[in-house]
Amino acid sequence: MSAAKATSGNLFADDPAFQITAQTISVLPPLPLAGPYDYMVPEGLSVQPGDFVEIPLGRQTQRGVVWGDAKGDVESSKLREIYGVLPAEPMPDVTRKFIDWVSAYTMAPQGAVLRMAMSVPDALEPPKPIFRFTLSTDFDPSSLRMTPPRKRVMAFLGENPAMEQGDILRETGAGVSVVKGLVEAGAVRRLMVKPPSPFDLPDLSIGRPNLSDEQTIAADALCDRVEAGGVSCTLLDGITGSGKTEVYFEPIRAALAEGKQVVVLLPEIALSAQWLQRFRDRFGVVPALWHSEVGQARRRDTWRSVADGSVKLVVGARSALFLPYKDLGLIVVDEEHEHAFKQEDGVIYHARDMAVARAHLGGIPIVLASATPSLETLANVEAGRYYRVELGNRHGAAVLPSVEVIDIRQDKPERLRWITPTLKKRLVETFANGEQAMLFLNRRGYAPLTLCRACGHRFQCPNCTAWLVEHRAWGKLQCHHCGYQAKAPDVCPACGAEGKLAPCGPGVERLYEEALETFPNIRIEVATSDNIMGPKAAAELVQRVHNHEVDLLIGTQILAKGYHFPLLTLVGVVDADLGLAGGDLRAAERSYQLLTQVAGRAGRGDRPGTVMLQTADPANRVIKAIAAGDRNAFNEVELSQRMTHGMPPHGRLAALIISGKKENEVDEAAWRIGRVAPRGDGLMVLGPAPAPLSLLRGRYRRRFLIRADKGVKMQALIHDWLSQVKTPGSVRVQVDIDPYSFM
């Protein structure tokens, strides 16, 4: 056989299981700097593309995925042999294509993308077998020396199907040795069984809820896309409270009815207790969750069950896209406009955009849901690339809240206070009516800046270009970029003055202090990522608000999303101008979206809601658009401004971030890259310039911004550009295609 193999190359060439056993293959290891490497397949071993294999790499043993035929860049006599194939479902074709696609688009190495798809190393271990015990049928009990525990075990097994040892011991009070003795005597047999899937199948017999006419039309349109099969992208465009979730549950059901898997991406999965409850009501099961707080054992089960197709429904953060779905039939991206879908480190990608690519590669439908769709998505609708279905009314008797603008220059709060007299009056009325209110301030901590009134010293992070934020509850100053903490001092470190340090501006803690003094008799809760950590805390808070154990909620953007509190009728936005400062490309859009979401929390039940926006700039078009409830007018102006400057969605952007620990090295590298910057029609390169966060986590940062017309092949251009420059290993060059952060 070996002689034959040596001459004919592959004895089993006709056998599909041996497709690429032509002795050499390429294997991709999940390493941040790697592409695939060539290996030999030892004789007698067969591998297919997608197989998980063990390989020698340098002096280590690595795991990787068979990516395809050998590239042939290394002479075959120099290739090493793979060690073996792991007992896991091969990675599906479409997942590998997706990884290649994401790698090409984001310009991250394939291995870095693969790493996101192999985030659970344990999943490649065979699952622990489960043993059950049952009576042997052909055993003559009279030959057995009976003892009372043996008798109990035999009787128990006689009455029950095959049982696990733990159950037997618990039910009979017998010890381990009793069961062992019975097995050795031949009276009891030990069976190895396949572990049951830890995930229940969704219950498809639960009926469709009573959908309104508008909801029915939307749901049917989405179900049609699923039934038609093939790729399609549909924007589910519905105002807050219109029942988008109930509507997209219907195509989910349709896909499940075809036996397909479904993934739903949510921006803040850990805070989505209410959503999960509704899901449970509709499908009778908890979906498999996929986010950073899911424990290792559960991750392993989930990964394997996604791969073998036994889990049908996954709800997750952006990384859920990279699971090895056996038969994915539908993707839903809820709150598609959310910037939380952009991953900013490692592989820099936008999960919504990658989800659309995944749908294309898989030939399946995708639904993007939002009350404030991104301009990118709206442009795709305009261009006819995406369908759109609309929901223009709130569910039931609920209507959109009325919006009032408070000009804080006229209606001034007291000194060192932030709640205006008008808002205060409305809060009093709301509590008097037995209703709930929310104060929104998108700033954690007590005060965003601490200043010495004697010398003007400001407390800055030693590792970042950022002020330290006071967290009075912990007695600390903290950097919100790198987590650096220092004890809040009494004495100014610069001039030594005592008692001169003053907090500047409000954070939610300070607002809480004010609310406590202003409304001593009402129940107030603060919700920020500092105290609402994880699903459990979020679920408990939701429960307390629902039970009306809270009158006033004070919080940051974690309160903006998704929540439905029927008694919540007043939302006060303490500083509506906050998101407009900074002024990056999407500041207005983002601020509009956030304020719409926050406003959307009010009046979702039978009682109408009011939103009060405190602003020093009532003429600002974002404020005016929110007040007028005119999304289209806002979007039109925003789009035309972007058009004038060739900005997305009309043009394309990319950023380069050059960073390192030594400032002179970073500057030098940035200068050298800048010197060979591409030029051309429809192309503009800005930089190098110090990033607004010119120091972050101890690294100096310089940026380039590349703007190009739509037709320009951005990735090829950047690839050619960067390949002309050699930068030292101590300097990192990150490419950010379609940047959302300009910091």
Q: Which residues form the interface with ligand ADP (CB under 6 A)?
A: 209-212, 215, 238, 240-246, 278, 395, 564
Tell me which of Zn ion, ligand ADP, none is bound by residue 238, counting a contact when its beta carbon lies within the kind-specific cut-off of 5 to 8 angstroms: ligand ADP
Q: With binding defined as CB under 5 A, does residue 467 bind Zn ion? A: no
Tell me which of ligand ADP, Zn ion, none is bound by residue 564, counting a contact when its beta carbon lies within the kind-specific cut-off of 5 to 8 angstroms: ligand ADP
What's the token pair of residue 617? 């700039």
Nearest to 654 by CA among 589, 704, 722: 704
Tell me which of ligand ADP, Zn ion, none is bound by residue 481, counting a contact when its beta carbon lies within the kind-specific cut-off of 5 to 8 angstroms: Zn ion
Judged by CB under 5 A, the residue of 189, 298, 481, 500 near Zn ion is 481
Q: With binding defined as CB under 5 A, does residue 275 bind Zn ion? A: no
Considering the complex, what minimum distance in angstroms separates the CB of residue 199 from Zn ion?
41
Q: Are strands 261-265 and 188-193 parallel, antiparallel or unpaired?
A: unpaired
Alpha helix stretches (DSSP H) within 383-533: 421-432, 508-518
Q: With binding defined as CB under 5 A, does residue 567 bind Zn ion? A: no
Q: With binding defined as CB under 5 A, does residue 354 bind Zn ion? A: no
Considering the complex, what minimum distance in angstroms separates the CB of residue 631 from ligand ADP?
14
Considering the complex, what minimum distance in angstroms separates the CB of residue 277 from ligand ADP?
10
Q: Which stretch binds Zn ion (CB under 5 A): 44-52, 460-468, 669-677, 701-709?
A: 460-468
Q: Are strands 699-709 and 651-660 parallel, antiparallel or unpaired?
A: antiparallel
Considering the complex, what minimum distance in angstroms separates the CB of residue 315 from ligand ADP?
15
Measured from the CB atom, the residue of 311 and 461 that comes closer to Zn ion is 461
Tell me which of Zn ion, ligand ADP, none is bound by residue 395, counting a contact when its beta carbon lies within the kind-specific cut-off of 5 to 8 angstroms: ligand ADP
Measured from the CB atom, the residue of 165 and 212 that comes closer to ligand ADP is 212
Considering the complex, what minimum distance in angstroms separates the CB of residue 136 from ligand ADP?
55
Please say whether the beta carbons of 136 and 188 come within 8 A: yes
Nearest to 48 by CA among 91, 83, 94: 91
CA dihedral 236, 239, 241, 247 (to 10 degrees): -20
Tell me which of ligand ADP, Zn ion, none is bound by residue 245, counting a contact when its beta carbon lies within the kind-specific cut-off of 5 to 8 angstroms: ligand ADP
Judged by CB under 5 A, the residue of 19, 402, 463, 734 near Zn ion is 463
Judged by CB under 5 A, the residue of 41, 55, 226, 479 near Zn ion is 479
Round to whole Å and give the CA distance between 655 and 702: 10
Burial 503-536 (b: 16+ CB within 10 A, else e): beebbbbbbbebbeebbeebebbbbbebebeebe
Measured from the CB atom, the residue of 240 and 557 that comes closer to ligand ADP is 240
Q: With binding defined as CB under 5 A, does residue 477 bind Zn ion? A: no
- Within 8 A by CB and 6+ apart from 630, the residues are none
Q: With binding defined as CB under 5 A, does residue 461 bind Zn ion? A: yes
Measured from the CB atom, the residue of 270 and 348 that comes closer to ligand ADP is 270
Round to whole Å and give the CA distance between 714 and 724: 16
DSSP-assigned letters across all residues of 547-580 = TT--SEEEESGGGTSS---TTEEEEEETTTTGGG
Q: Are strands 60-69 and 52-57 parallel, antiparallel or unpaired?
A: antiparallel
Please say whether the beta carbons of 128 and 73 come within 8 A: no
Please say whether the beta carbons of 328 and 263 come within 8 A: yes
In degrees and rounded to multiples of 5, residue 710 shows phi and psi of -55, -40
- Within 8 A by CB and 6+ apart from 514, the residues are 417, 418, 419, 506
Round to whole Å and give the CA distance between 395 and 738: 36
Neighbouring-strand partners of residue 331: 263, 366
Please say whether the beta carbons of 123 and 88 come within 8 A: yes
Q: With binding defined as CB under 5 A, does residue 340 bind Zn ion? A: no
What's the token pair of residue 434? 């037995």
Round to whole Å and give the CA distance between 696 and 464: 4
Q: With binding defined as CB under 5 A, does residue 317 bind Zn ion? A: no
Measured from the CB atom, the residue of 443 and 631 that comes closer to ligand ADP is 631
Considering the complex, what minimum distance in angstroms separates the CB of residue 697 from Zn ion?
6
Q: With binding defined as CB under 5 A, does residue 691 bind Zn ion? A: no
Tell me which of ligand ADP, Zn ion, none is bound by residue 463, counting a contact when its beta carbon lies within the kind-specific cut-off of 5 to 8 angstroms: Zn ion
Considering the complex, what minimum distance in angstroms separates the CB of residue 261 from ligand ADP?
23
Nearest to 405 by CA among 420, 386, 391: 420
Tell me which of Zn ion, ligand ADP, none is bound by residue 242, counting a contact when its beta carbon lies within the kind-specific cut-off of 5 to 8 angstroms: ligand ADP
Please say whether the beta carbons of 364 and 226 come within 8 A: no
Measured from the CB atom, the residue of 236 and 488 that comes closer to ligand ADP is 236
Q: With binding defined as CB under 5 A, does residue 469 bind Zn ion? A: no
Considering the complex, what minimum distance in angstroms separates the CB of residue 699 from Zn ion?
11
Considering the complex, what minimum distance in angstroms separates the CB of residue 245 from ligand ADP?
3
Q: Closest residue to ligand ADP, Cβ-based?
A: 243
Measured from the CB atom, the residue of 238 and 603 that comes closer to ligand ADP is 238
Q: Is 661 helix (H, G, I), strand (E, B) or coil?
A: coil
Q: With binding defined as CB under 5 A, does residue 482 bind Zn ion? A: yes
Please say whether the beta carbons of 237 and 265 come within 8 A: no
Tell me which of Zn ion, ligand ADP, none is bound by residue 215, counting a contact when its beta carbon lies within the kind-specific cut-off of 5 to 8 angstroms: ligand ADP
Considering the complex, what minimum distance in angstroms separates the CB of residue 366 from ligand ADP?
17
**Contact footprint for Zn ion (CB under 5 A):** 461, 463-464, 479, 481-482, 484
